[in-house]
Amino acid sequence: MAKQVMLKFTEVPRLMPEKRAADARTADFDEIYSQFAQEKANEQASRCSQCGVPFCQSHCPLHNNIPDWLKLTAEGRLQEAYELSQATNTFPEICGRICPQDRLCEGNCVIEQSGHGTVTIGSIEKYITDTAWENGWVKPITPARERTESVGIIGAGPGGLAAADMLRRAGVQVTVYDRYDRAGGLMVYGIPGFKLEKQVTERRNTQLAEGGVDLQMNVNVGVDISFSDIKAKHDSVIIATGVYKSRDLGGPGAGLNGIVRALDYLTASNKNSFGDHVPEFESGELNASGKRVVVIGGGDTAMDCVRTAIRQGATSVKCLYRRDRANMPGSQRETQNAEEEGVEFVWLAAPKGFTGEGDVSGVMVSKMRLGAPDATGRQSPEIIPDADYVEDADLVIKALGFEAEDLPTLWNEPELQVTRWGTVTAKFGTHETPMPGVYAVGDIVRGASLVVWAIRDGREAAEAILKKFDKAANAIAAE
């Protein structure tokens, strides 16, 4: 009888790749998890029970064929595992690093319910594609034939780039316009290197450029070129501009120096990691070095800010959140990483203003408690009377989430249909907007979301566009 390779979860315990010690990892911006060694990856993949109905797969936004690539990995057939993995995911090594797996694939792995700990799907996905890069299995994009149709994509984040990749592979002429100087969107300028090292995104940008995708950087649509000019240049247009309007905080002292927006702060840090000249970082305006830092917010952006501040050499870093740990939106894994690195969480604490003269010196804090559950069952925070205090701070970072910019006004395109939240209206599945030939994907449609959802949208929009192009070409051929 053939040797059983899989179903090893009862004998092989769950293991994550080694995590660097907190004091070592806070000394740099490198990723904190090391790579699996081959035998560990094979062993961990062999824990999968090869479910007939794989809940991991149905809860992966890309419906990755997880059980099959786990089996191929367990059997040591890594190149085939890579081929299968990349068939459904444009950037598997990126998702393997930064998807909140505990809420998606791994959070739905059935062996956890029997008390054995989930299969480490994300780490194995990362391992497979990193190995593919090392071995030269990731091939340049070489379309079988060139097509005449062209698509203009506004925004070089994961949504725009996933669409660009798929369209270019089909031979379409693709131009991506972005107002930043580097492609990657929030993958390069939002997410810090300790979660996703810069070279991981950079090598994908190089692959796209070498494959013929025209990456036009430093082009702010609505300023350097109009949306209508882009529309006139291309057969189809995809809007993939993300959401960048920061939610703000008012209250006394809100205009003091030293109160900054999370994305400004993270962008400056990420640019500095590239070795760029960043005046706001060098002047100390967007640099936590030697400062008492208070970050306001409890989501993943707040976690990235606190951990960046620690690495920049802040003297203390506190995170204020108005609910408790169980009710915070950020990933528990990232919160734990932050705590290990020396961040102090102040739960049930809401800012009501700021102290200081000219420069901020503290945050006025109201202590909160969780009240009765609302209609959704979530407990609303309410202020505890007479319990206010001041949290000392030299730098306050506001990480309260993002909203869509007002694109119809910015682009002078009143016909562009948006929802009451400012997100662009697009059809589920095809991502067509009511404006003919115009599609929209990623955060600008969903609101602040995840890289993996942007990739899915980009791929779906590319498929819909290709279908349209084929239909039009067939109609001409039939005439």
Residues found near ligand SF4 in the complex (CB under 6 A): 48-51, 54-56, 60, 62, 64, 66-67, 89, 95-96, 99, 101, 104-105, 109-111, 119, 121-122, 125, 452
How many binding residues for ligand FAD (CB under 6 A)?
38
Is the Cβ of residue 6 or residue 22 nearer to ligand SF4 in the bound state? Answer: 6
One of 309, 450, 464, 466 touching ligand FAD (CB under 6 A): 450
In the region spanning residues 131 to 170, those forming contacts with ligand FAD, defined by CB under 6 A, are: 154-160
Q: Residue 67's binding partner, choosing from ligand FAD, ligand SF4, none, with beta-carbon cut-off 5 to 8 A by kind?
A: ligand SF4
The least CB distance from residue 157 to ligand FAD, in Å, is 2
The least CB distance from residue 127 to ligand SF4, in Å, is 12
Is the Cβ of residue 48 or residue 448 nearer to ligand FAD in the bound state? Answer: 448
The least CB distance from residue 5 to ligand SF4, in Å, is 13
Is the Cβ of residue 295 or residue 455 nearer to ligand SF4 in the bound state? Answer: 455
Stretch that binds ligand FAD, among 144-152, 374-382, 443-451, 471-479 (CB under 6 A): 443-451
Is the Cβ of residue 48 or residue 191 nearer to ligand SF4 in the bound state? Answer: 48
Determine the Cα–Cα distance for residues 92 and 107; give it in Å rounded to an integer: 18
Q: Contact between 449 and ligand FAD (CB under 6 A)?
A: yes
In the region spanning residues 254 to 273, those forming contacts with ligand FAD, defined by CB under 6 A, are: 266
In the region spanning residues 220 to 249, those forming contacts with ligand FAD, defined by CB under 6 A, are: 220-222, 240-242
- What residues make contact with ligand FAD under the rule CB under 6 A? 98-99, 154-160, 177-180, 185-187, 190-191, 195, 219-222, 240-242, 266, 300-301, 304, 442-444, 449-452, 454
